[in-house]
Structure 1
Amino acid sequence: MSDEADVERRSSSQIASITLLNYPVPLSPPLPPVSKQIELSRAMSAASKSSLFTLSRGDVVYEDEWLIAVNKPQGVYCENVLSSAPSALAQSSQSDELTQGFEASRPELHLANRLDRDTSGVMVITKSHKVASKLVKAFTDHKVKKTYIARCIGSAPKWEKITIKSAHGRSKFGAWRVYAASDVGRALPGGSVVRNMETSFEVLSINGKGRLKEVSEFRKDERNTIVVEEKAVKEDIATKDEILVRAYPRSGRTHQIRLHCQYLGISILGDVKYEGVYEWKGTTYDAHQLHAESLSFEHPVTGLEILLRAPLPLWANQALEHSLNPATS
């Protein structure tokens, strides 16, 4: 190798090292080793369950001539919900003649939003390309207001409401992580870029004591806002509490609520990727307990404000069962 080539090689190596050192450092921990096998098992189980899944009229929470909203079950892939939607639409026909008409003019179904495999809740399917493009743009532009319900395990928070602002991106190992808010815009391994991420939370109940408040506009209080710039300091407390929270994501990042719950020290029950316990009070959980409760947006055709809500899952109702009795609230 010539001296010139050797100098060029060493120079390239140095540049690569400098570039690597300039990558932002994630503030949330890497995936726990135990999560790999558990997630693989869950994925295989979900694949089997999804292949047998059939959407029924009972899963439909709203329908008009342009879109259909459904309550996606836990442990089912979005694609399988979409592929089974035509059968649910056909079930709304009351006669063979109407069914034949439906088959002849089968709508062009598209997913307007997606949910994680184990996240249940409201999901919107549009019936035409044109409506799909409008609604997807509304999601992309953060014009759709969303609420989620999460059952978490950790130390009971000292706050009733809080907003957390951070950055979001994929680490060099491909896992989604929390980054400092000041890292927004910086490059990451693989060519992606760190993006902003913001979620507001309100506590609904702690250890079954509380109440299910009506969904309303969350009013941020800058005095109760965390702007993430360093790793979270978590209290090492032996006694853990069960906390039911409502989340208001103001951006639409992958695993956003799960990551922010982890950062706040109240990881979602069953969420093994983000430090959530999967064994709790003698029960082993095969999925995380997160539910897409509601979506509100301007209808892409009529322009009217529309609110879509999915019924709460059994686990959420169980977490609130004590609050249903006024004497224990």
Structure 2
Amino acid sequence: MEARHDLPITNLDYPKPITSPPPPISKDIELKRAIEASSKSSLFNLTRDHVLYEDEWLMAVNKPKGVYCESVLSSAPKIIVDSSSNEFHLANRLDRDTSGVMLITKSHKVAAKLVKAFTEHKVRKSYIALSIGPSPNWSKITIKSGHGRSKHGAWRVYAALDVGRVLPGGSFVRDMETTICSEVVSVNGENPEPSESQSIIVVEGEPELSCVGDDVVVVRAFPRSGRTHQIRLHCQYLGIPIRGDVKYHGMYEWRGRTFEGHELHAESLSLEHPVTGDPLVIQSPLPCWAAGDYVTV
């Protein structure tokens, strides 16, 4: 029998995602959070209290949780010292419920330089996250994996060997790398015994790490790449999903309290100034949950 080349291909060999899809409950919760954030963002205005750094070329601000980046950008001209320019751009973006350092540039030229710096991994980013799960038995772990959307449209972790393969919809699996450190971790509000354990995980299949545990674990994460929801995905893979991050199986209700967003904070950016070339380190104040008040805040 001759092959029929005019028939549609229905059984493409798509790579299989490693992490689980969002739980069914996440759809309604995420919709509720989006509506609340839209309302909050429409009323939001930056003040000088939000400003972490400013010069004639750029400004760094501390984005609050539950506010969209676009609302931060649109209100920036009202407080910028020299607002004669109309070339304001976001140099980096944060998820709706992620707080912390955001860079706003004041010209197209500076924006282009910073985009290049981020793309070439010349900007060092530090995040802090509060997770619920088993206490880590490692001090530093680097995860190398693939990243992409599954056939259901959700971001998922893929095997490192799948990088470059085609996904449903025509996109590709891209590389994703995060280093997560636990030498500054707090577990249930206490510092754990120091560990010398350092490891590199190249994701090949289902995670072998235990997901059983109800400890409060605060970690610092240093993403090398800048993929969408990267830290949230890698924390899910490690079995320590971020508290409140219902999309990636984080605790939505925990110890009698409901959490209205995930607890992830962009703590610092370290980079070479795009104009002067001087080293620039921008840090934002830690939210209360990262400063030790884990349960009641």
When the two structures are superposed, what TM-score results if normalisation uses the length of structure 1? 0.84
Other-structure match for 2:115: 136
Secondary structure (helix, strand or coil) at the match of 2:33 reads: helix
How far apart, CA to CA, are the structure 2 residues paired with 1:186 and 1:26? Answer: 12
Structure 2 unmatched ranges of 5 or more: none
2:223 aligned with 1:232: no
* Post-superposition offset of 1:318: 2.7
* Post-superposition offset of 1:206: 0.7
* Post-superposition offset of 1:320: 7.4
Residues 211 and 239, structure 2, Cα contact 8 Å, conserved in 1: no
Out of 209, 224, 238, the position equivalent to 1:264 is 238
Other-structure match for 1:96: none
Other-structure match for 2:17: 26
Secondary structure (helix, strand or coil) at the match of 1:146 reads: strand
2:258 aligned with 1:284: yes
- Residues 147-197 of structure 1 deviation map (CA, whole Å, 9 limit, x = unaligned): 000000001111121111111111111111000011111111111111111
2:284 aligned with 1:310: yes
Residues 164 and 172, structure 2, Cα contact 8 Å, conserved in 1: yes
Q: Structure 2: which amino acid aligns with 1:309?
A: Q
Higher helix share: 1
How far apart, CA to CA, are the structure 2 residues paired with 1:169 and 1:236? Answer: 23
- After superposing on structure 2, the runs of 4+ consecutive aligned residues of structure 1 that deviate more than 3 Å are 6-9, 233-237
Secondary structure (helix, strand or coil) at the match of 2:292 reads: helix
Other-structure match for 2:131: 152
- Residues 74-95 of structure 1 deviation map (CA, whole Å, 9 limit, x = unaligned): 0000000000101122xx5xxx
* Post-superposition offset of 1:319: 4.3
Other-structure match for 2:10: 17
Secondary structure (helix, strand or coil) at the match of 2:10 reads: helix
Say how many residue pairs are matched.
290
Other-structure match for 1:99: none
Secondary structure (helix, strand or coil) at the match of 1:209 reads: coil
Other-structure match for 1:65: 56
* Post-superposition offset of 1:305: 1.0
* Post-superposition offset of 1:234: 5.1
How far apart, CA to CA, are the structure 2 residues paired with 1:177 and 1:23? Answer: 13
Larger radius of gyration: 1
When the two structures are superposed, what TM-score results if normalisation uses the length of structure 2? 0.93
2:212 aligned with 1:207: no
Secondary structure (helix, strand or coil) at the match of 2:227 reads: coil
Out of 23, 27, 34, the position equivalent to 1:43 is 34
Secondary structure (helix, strand or coil) at the match of 2:156 reads: strand
Q: Structure 2: which amino acid aligns with 1:306?
A: L
- Residues 190-245 of structure 1 deviation map (CA, whole Å, 9 limit, x = unaligned): 1111111110111221111129xxxxxxxxx8x611111001145363x5000000
How far apart, CA to CA, are the structure 2 residues paired with 1:193 and 1:161? Answer: 29
Q: Percent identity?
A: 63
Structure 1 unmatched ranges of 5 or more: 93-101, 212-220, 322-329
Other-structure match for 1:245: 219
Q: Structure 1: which amino acid aligns with 2:205?
A: E
RMSD: 2.1
